[in-house]
Structure formats: C-alpha cells, structure tokens
C-alpha cells in the first residue's frame, strides 16, 4: 500500500490503479493450474480468490483509491474462435466461463465504496502492433454488459479484429458507461459515453 499512498499524496488528479483481473489465475492454465488437493471443487477456489481480491480492494479504498481498473484480457480472448477451441480442448466450456468470471469479478469488487469507480479494460494484446486474439464481442456481450457490476469499460472496438455491434452496446443495463478505443497503431484513444 505504501507506493499507492505515496502516489495518492502527490497526485494532482485522481490517480488510477490497475490490477490484473482475477480470471487470469484460471484462464491461462485452466483446471491444471489449480491445485486439486487444495481445491477439489473449483467453486471454492473462485470463492477464495474473490475474497482475497475483495480484501485488496477494501485496503486500496482505505488508502484513498477511488479509481480502479481491472485489466481483463480473458473476455476478449473468449471472442476468438481459435482460443475458444483451445479452452474447450482444455476441458472448459467457453460459453460458461464468462458467467463464472463475471461472478468472480463481482465478488472481487463487492466491497468497494460507493464513490469508487471501477472500470474494466479489455484488449487482445497490443505489443508493437502484435496481438494474441481477434473477434467481435458477440460471444461474451450479454455477460460482459449485463452481469458484470463495473462502472465503465475500456474496449478495443473500432478495429477489424475487434468489432462491436450496436446490439452489444444496447444490451447494457441502463447506466452510463464509457467505451474507449485502444487502436493498435498508437493513435489517440477515442472515448464515447453511452
């Protein structure tokens, strides 16, 4: 907490802190990455993981954090047909995982104060013009916009590899959110409030 406390003490604007989404601890390795002796039931793993994140978010709030960003790449990866097949080959259901991850994320941020903004950043990997995934948001849109209790989104949406249909955006609950584009070519991001 000391680095955040220092940042908070010297910042002239509301500082944003980013955390990797808790789904990262499952997605890359699947069931094989979770100790089956400690967690014979994955529901217990997800519950413990949500609790640990929730405690961290509460500690950050107590240190003054009011703007938190979750870097959630796995929802974007679940838009890619090739990666969806890999998930299935690892024994997971790519249609069920978004629901599981939504519940996990909601548990992780459940203890945040009412005045803390929590946004979710989704990208397909943009390192020097290279990316890991592609595909529109259709496979995850209903869950992403209707089940996850974040304040806003930073989405890659105006590139050929990350199309977002108006139907995806319109399925949101009635709440203001921000969609920001993160184009791979380094162009300035554009944000739209919906």
The pLDDT tens digits of the residues spanning 101-142 come to 999 999 999 999 999 999 999 887 766 776 778 888 889 989
Tokens of residue 4, six digits: 């955040």
What was the pLDDT predicted at 169? 56
**pLDDT single digits (tens) 37-66:** 999 999 999 999 999 999 999 999 999 999
d(CA 126, CA 123): 7
What was the pLDDT predicted at 186? 42
**Contact call for residues 70 and 121 (beta carbons, < 8 A):** yes
> Is the pLDDT score of 193 beyond 70?
no
Percent of the chain scored above 70 by pLDDT? 79
What was the pLDDT predicted at 4? 87
Mean pLDDT over 7-15 rounds to: 92
Q: List C-alpha distances in Å: 65 to 13, 52, 61, 96, 106.
A: 12, 17, 5, 32, 18
Most confident option among 42-51, 83-92, 132-141, 180-189: 42-51
Mean pLDDT over 167-181 rounds to: 50
From 5, 8, 50, select the one nearest 25 (Cα to Cα). 50
Give the pLDDT band (50/70/90) at residue 163: low
Task: Report pTM.
Answer: 0.84
> Is the pLDDT score of 80 beyond 80?
yes
> Is the pLDDT score of 8 beyond 70?
yes
């Amino acid at each position: 907490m000391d680095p955040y406390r220092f940042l908070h003490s010297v910042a002239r604007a509301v500082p944003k802190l980013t955390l990797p989404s808790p789904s990262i601890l499952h997605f890359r390795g699947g069931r094989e990455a979770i100790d089956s002796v400690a967690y014979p039931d994955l529901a217990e793993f997800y519950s413990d993981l949500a609790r640990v994140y929730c405690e961290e978010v509460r500690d950050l709030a107590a240190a003054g954090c009011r703007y938190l960003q979750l870097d959630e790449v796995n929802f974007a990866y679940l838009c890619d047909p090739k990666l969806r097949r890999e998930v299935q080959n690892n024994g997971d259901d790519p249609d069920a995982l978004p629901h599981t991850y939504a519940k996990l994320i909601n548990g992780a941020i459940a203890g945040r104060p009412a005045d803390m903004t929590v946004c979710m950043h989704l990208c397909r990997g943009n390192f020097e013009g290279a990316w890991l995934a592609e595909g529109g948001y259709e496979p995850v849109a209903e869950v992403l916009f209707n089940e996850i209790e974040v304040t806003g989104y930073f989405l890659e949406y105006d590139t050929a590899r990350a199309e977002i249909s108006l139907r995806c955006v319109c399925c949101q609950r009635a709440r203001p959110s921000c969609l920001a584009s993160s184009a791979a070519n380094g162009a300035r991001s554009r944000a739209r409030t919906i």
